[in-house]
Structure 1
């Protein structure tokens, strides 16, 4: 049983809670949660609960947006060949589908290019630049990549190819010499929202082009189903502009999705409405499977499909690849865990860095995440690719793995990514030195508590405060995701009222009661069956949980979804 830390967030100021409680007629625990999230007035609450497209920022606030628009307008006027170039993950493929579909709807001299994960690696490749040159492209628009491609943009310039870079990753010390570089994370970019995904940057460029040339697109908002899939899949904060885009994107996805996304939802088993969680666990793995197992071009073809038949053709192929991906994921994770368990040094380390030359490159990021589920520490999984060691890094909440990797950059050929996920390449002979240095860097900088899984709890609550109205307000806080997570509550003096049982040898189910309350609630604890003998004896305990609606055979009820149990 893995011990978890519980961290109860500090309550908001009493006066703010009281004012919000009265202004919008919500319970005090919910008023507290909203205030913790910066929603401290009637107006702020109105903006939060009723997102409006008027909240989207002017795309021309982004540094270089005017230059990007002018260069594309010039290319179209001169009938130049334009290449839309994107990464092979969900954010990259949705970005390419969005911008290529938009451009191709009125301009035929364009094509798209997705690098091969295995032959070319992440981002702009030399092969990609050469292919563009051989096929007479004079403008490349990158999406979700390119911010660190300084040398390749220089090489392209020598071949008379211009670049417009649309990226959301952190820039290096030097920006590529592109005609325009759209990245809110540039130090000199005044754009008010910094957390758009790559597809979001592509959407802003499309918005800017359409503002200047209304005839090019009737309604850029028709593309929000693609944007929300990228927001959910790339695990970016669902705050500010992302929250607005996600809200309307989910609406589009549920009411009138493009054929490719409709087919994916069907194959993912969506029976009612889809939400962010459904995208992350149902749609994203299938889109990602294209580039993990074969070539991501298939994912773009799916997203560009114009008919239901064409969409199902590609969706079913992706489903087969996703099943293969699951097999690789499972077998490699088993191998990785055995390697750790059979090595005392690895077991006691603050990090996991593993290498095996025949591991499938397409799933090493997933395997890194699986290892963190077992050992909860910064993890890098490496395999051999093009005679180099290529790896995926994942981190634990609160620790910046990108900075830790950066401290080992003398041993690396290249690296890039975010605070919690990164990619890296090195010479195979550098692996032992890298393992040692990465362990030292992390051990010297990570607080011990970050190595224990954390459950952030928003508010204490009593069963008497849980009601249908309470649940309805929580539902209106969606879409949930980073920085706007589904609220987690703490209830004390809880015990089993009845119906304690274990489902499928894994899951805990019972009816709970709380001292001082006459209300009882169904409780489900996924993968928490190990607690069953401990709560059977009638003693009181505390629970950390979400409040959800349970639909069973047409009957709706309130259900508490357990995250953990602690004994009093």
Structure 2
């Protein structure tokens, strides 16, 4: 992909100098930290040493007092509680967390995941009626419900109370539930707005634990699930999410719950999991059941009582994930072929594709794959229950939710956020939606949105790349949205000892005039540059710094992000 490099602005020299002195780091590192809104010793300490004691008081969230009281009353009165969650990773981890926590001391609790194909996204009428018919007087919904006004009204008519835990953007009207927990509510004073759905569920459990004087140590055993939700739902890893992700990753790597441990073993996933590993290795496996069959299997995996049970359930998830990959590859190929044909008829600022037999469970993945080649806001639609239903994915800094909202007169329902959304509309309105969405995007999108940006933290010289520098960088993890892994560039270098690996990757050393350091670079998918690199032509290179260990010997390597030749 052809990137536009954007060197981040230099912070104010006086701010950089002050922080550099305060925490004893060089100005390159100080500049990076100031650009991450870290200006003094205490902020740096909070960043480098996340502390669970710094989590916000959950009672600051609007309606939290009502939610805790209703939950306490339900347990004291021995009511049946139904834990209801969406079928994606955020939803299934939310259900596993809340159900697992309550089930440990209260038997009259069950969970419900809607069928992606028969019920669709969010609270379903079938789910509400199931609760009423089976004696559940309280539903706790997680990662969904913020727009389910009609379904909550139905529940009220049927005598079923709702506590909603959601993190999606509310509409103008809130559902008439006992409590609506969503930090994005306009009237919610909660200081951190970017929790995942599982994160909101965690805050309810935290508030309940404090109210009932239960051990926080037990509560924190669920942080592996919260970390998986944060990574998979692509929420910012800043503020409170950084604390939750930091300790959740620690638990994942040192003492994961049996189901996750089994998934790591069956998937042959390496140790020292990062946020990226969750996004590409853990999350898709958990998601697979909900995409192709029923997400109940993922929840059962996550709440496995021991490793033997976890391994049995992980084997099933692995089989489904293999089938998911096959669907993904075939549909992606068809979608790219359709875009190539479309490109011959004109210039487009968006992609909206529809094919009635595409598998609904993988269209979100396919949308992301299409953006990798055709970088523009993308919606992939298929037919389900006689409706066109789809997943939307966006490009950097373009709000696809608002663009879809501008076409709402053609839609039956939609929801999501800036970079990802879901929608449903009548099949016969797909052509009109394609036309309207293209018009809306064309009016709002700017050229800078349509060329991927590679943000570069700073320009280095090669001798700056050493273990002292790297060891501080490593402590800035976990990396992700809101705290991206640092990317650097070095200019005017040439390559030596260039080798092709597995026909499509490169390994080479770079040399810069006047510098003694000659780091090894690994370029995945960069084999097309073999001849140019071998020609000794000078180039600029953008990279991340990683540690590589081979035969008990460790060294720093540069993982290539992009190369620009003179």
Question: Over residues 501-527 of structure 1, what are the superposed CA-to-partner deviations in whole Å (9 max), with x where a residue is unaligned?
Answer: 222222122011112211100001111
1:122 is aligned to 121
Provide Cα deviations, 1:378-414, integer angstroms capped at 9, x if missing partner: 0000000000000000000110000000000000000
**Equivalent in the alignment of 1:158:** 157
The 8 Å contact of residues 542 and 565 in structure 1, kept in 2 or not, is answered as: yes
Match in the other structure for 1:551: 549
Pair 1:13 & 2:4 matched? no
Secondary structure of 1:342's match?
Answer: helix
Counterpart residue number, 2:182: 183
**After alignment, is 342-351 or 71-80 more displaced?**
342-351
Tell me, in whole angstroms, the C-alpha distance in 2 between the residues paired with 1:271 and 1:427.
Answer: 45
Query: Which of 516, 536, 540 lines up with 2:534 in the alignment?
Result: 536
CA contact (8 A) 1:340 1:346 kept: no
Q: 1:346 to 1:390 in 2, by over 3 A?
A: farther
SS of structure 1 residue aligned to 2:190:
coil
Aligned residue number for residue 137 of structure 2: 138
Q: Which residue of 2 aligns with 1:149?
A: 148
User: Does 2:456 align with 1:457?
Assistant: yes
- 1:520 aligned counterpart, secondary structure: coil
Whole-angstrom distance in 1 between the partners of 2:473 and 2:197 = 29
Q: Distance in 2 between matches of 1:347 and 1:471?
A: 47
Q: For 1:242 and 1:171, how far apart are their aligned partners in 2?
A: 21
CA distance in 2, matches of 1:395, 1:98: 30
Helix, strand or coil at the partner of 2:442? helix
How far residue 27 of structure 1 moved from its aligned partner, in angstroms, is: 2.2
For 1:449 and 1:532, how far apart are their aligned partners in 2? 30
1:337 matched to 2:336? yes
SS in structure 2 at match of 1:116: coil
Q: How does 1:273-422 map to 2 (within 5 A)?
A: 273-344=272-343, 348-422=347-421
In structure 1, the partner of 2:56 is 57
Secondary structure of the 1:244 match is helix
Q: Which residue of 1 aligns with 2:519?
A: 521
> Which deviates the most, 80-89 or 511-520?
511-520
Secondary structure, counterpart of 2:195 in structure 1: coil
Offset at 1:343?
2.6
Helix, strand or coil: the match of 2:380? strand
> Equivalent residue for 1:473?
472
Cα distance in 1, alignment partners of residues 504 and 177 from structure 2: 54
CA–CA distance in structure 2, aligned partners of residues 302 and 98 of structure 1: 12
The corresponding residue for 2:193 is: 194
How far residue 567 of structure 1 moved from its aligned partner, in angstroms, is: 2.0
| Unaligned ranges ≥5, structure 2 | none
Distance 2:514 2:443 in 1: 47
SS in 1 for 2:222: helix
Q: Distance in 2 between matches of 1:218 and 1:56?
A: 14
Q: What's the offset of the Cα at 1:553? A: 2.4
Give the C-alpha shift of residue 271 in structure 1: 3.2
Measured on the aligned residues, the alpha-carbon RMSD in Å equals 1.1
* TM-score for the superposition, normalised by structure 1: 0.98
Q: Normalization by structure 2: what TM-score?
A: 0.98
Distance 2:258 2:170 in 1: 35
Instruction: Provide the rounded CA distance (Å) in 2 between the counterparts of 1:121 and 1:183.
Output: 21
In 2, the alpha carbon distance for the partners of 1:346 and 1:153 equals 46
Pick aligned residue for 2:500 from 496, 499, 502: 502
Deviation of 1:253 after TM superposition, in Å, equals: 1.1
| Cα distance change on mapping 1:442 and 1:502 into 2, 3 Å | same
Cross-structure match for 2:100: 101
Which secondary structure does the structure 2 equivalent of 1:163 belong to?
strand
Offset at 1:537?
1.4
CA distance in 2, matches of 1:95, 1:297: 12
> In the superposition, relative to structure 1, how do residues 31 and 216 fare at CA in structure 2: closer, same or farther (>3 Å)?
closer
How far, CA to CA, are the matches of 1:545 and 1:340 in structure 2? Answer: 31
For residues 528 and 400 of structure 1, what CA distance do their matches in structure 2 show?
31
Shift of 1:308: 0.7
Q: Do the aligned partners of residues 58 and 346 (structure 1) sit closer, same or farther apart at CA in structure 2, a change above 3 Å counting?
A: farther
- In the alignment, the residues of structure 1 paired with residue 379 and residue 537 of structure 2 have an alpha-carbon distance, to the nearest angstrom, of 42
Q: Distance in 2 between matches of 1:215 and 1:485?
A: 36
**Cα offset, 1:344, TM superposition:** 3.4
Shift in CA distance, 268/29, structure 1 to aligned 2, threshold 3 Å: farther
Contact persistence 1:371–1:379 (CA under 8 A): yes
Count of aligned pairs between the two proteins? 566
Deviation at 1:372, TM superposition (A): 0.2
Q: Which residue of 1 aligns with 2:205?
A: 206
- Aligned-pair distance for 1:536? 2.0
